[in-house]
Amino acid sequence: MTIHPLAAVSPDARLGVGVSVGAFATIEAGVELGDFCTVAPGAVVKAGVRAGCHNEFGEHCVVGGAPQHAARPQQVGDLTIGDHNVFREYVTVHRALKVGTATVIGDRNYIMATAHVGHDCVIGNHCIFANGALLGGHVTVEDRAFVSGAVAVHQFCRIGRLAMVGGHARVVQDIPPYMLVDGQSGCIVGLNIVGLKRSGHSAEDIAELKSAYRAIYRRGLPWKQVLEVLEAEFQGGPARHLRQFLTAGTRGFAQERRAPPATTFRLRVAEDDAATEPSLRSRAG
């Protein structure tokens, strides 16, 4: 264990083997850090934090801060962190609002500089949050989701497994698993094909998800009928998880981005071809 003489470490903190604490870092009473964690200079790990091993707390991040809530009680919940997570510079992660509950961060997540994780959030494994990503309270993010820079996620929203949210998106409804979200509109623009391939999904899995995507967004079915179709046509694989996700939630679901029906333009044709191709058109987008 290596603790810089200018660090402030409470004698009531429990630190594992090989923990390194830099200058001016603060570790409060009651903190539990597993083996080989690194606390960089200026970082603050506050009371109520229980973290596994091989976690990296970057310069001036504040992990375990009190919930930002107007009705915050005097005693609040905890923050539970798994293994092999990275919290970069100036990241803030808050504890849960009520005693006996916890903000939960799984394993091998990468949270980049100035990102924020609000109280009572639940984050899975292998997620990435780019610089300035903001999660409101009670947000759930499933495994391998990617949240780009400056994305703002409204409280109580959910982001599904392997979804990818484009930069600057304003997320106010649930993002279903495996979807690709446009940062400008906040709407779904297709499946996260690259992410699916990189995570080892087969061509059959991707074909099945494409069929499920068409059932959800292209057939024009009422919502109850969409769920019935998914239940009847997709008994297993990733499409089954997609259906399970869609049966829950309280904020509705992000919609597909569609071009307005009148967005067409006329292509110029040679005068001698005008008689044979008088109405040649192409749809924009």
Is pLDDT of 269 > 80?
Answer: no
**pLDDT of the residue at 261:** 54
In this prediction, residue 283 has a pLDDT band, given cuts at 50, 70 and 90, of very low
- Residue-wise pLDDT tens digits, 122-153: 999 999 999 999 999 999 999 999 999 999 99
DSSP states of 238-280:
HHHHHHHHHT--SS-BPPBP---TT-EEEPP--GGGTTT-TT-
DSSP string, 146-207: EE-TT-EE-TT-EE-TT-EE-TT-EE-SBB-TTEEE-TTT--EEEE-HHHHHHTT--HHHHH
Residues 6+ apart with CB under 8 A from 260: none
**Of these residues, 58, 65, 118, 120, which one is catalytic?**
120
Identify whether the C-beta of residue 126 lies closer than 8 Å to the C-beta of residue 144.
yes
42: its two tokens: 């200026």
Q: Is 119 a residue of the active site?
A: yes
What dihedral angle (degrees, nearest 10) is formed by the CA atoms of 141, 111, 171, 97?
A: 70
Mean pLDDT estimate for the chain: 92
CA distances for 267 relative to 259, 275, 277, angstroms: 18, 14, 10
Query: Which pTM does this prediction carry?
Result: 0.89
DSSP 8-state code for residue 221: -
* pLDDT at position 144: 98
Please say if 272 is a catalytic residue.
no
Find the catalytic residue in 64, 137, 186, 195.
137
Per-residue model confidence as pLDDT tens digits over 175-203: 999 999 999 999 999 999 999 999 999 99
Burial 4-38 (b: 16+ CB within 10 A, else e): eeebebeeebebbeebbbbebbbbbebbbbbebbb
Q: Per-residue confidence at 258, pLDDT binned at 50, 70, 90?
A: confident
Q: Pick the catalytic residue from 54, 94, 119, 138.
A: 119
**Is 137 annotated in the active site?**
yes
The tens digit of pLDDT for each residue in 59-97 reads 999 999 999 999 999 999 999 999 999 999 999 999 999
Q: What is the pLDDT of residues 29-66, one digit of tens each?
A: 999 999 999 999 999 999 999 999 999 999 999 999 99
The full set of domains in the chain, from first to last, is 2-138 (2.160.10.10), 203-246 (no CATH)
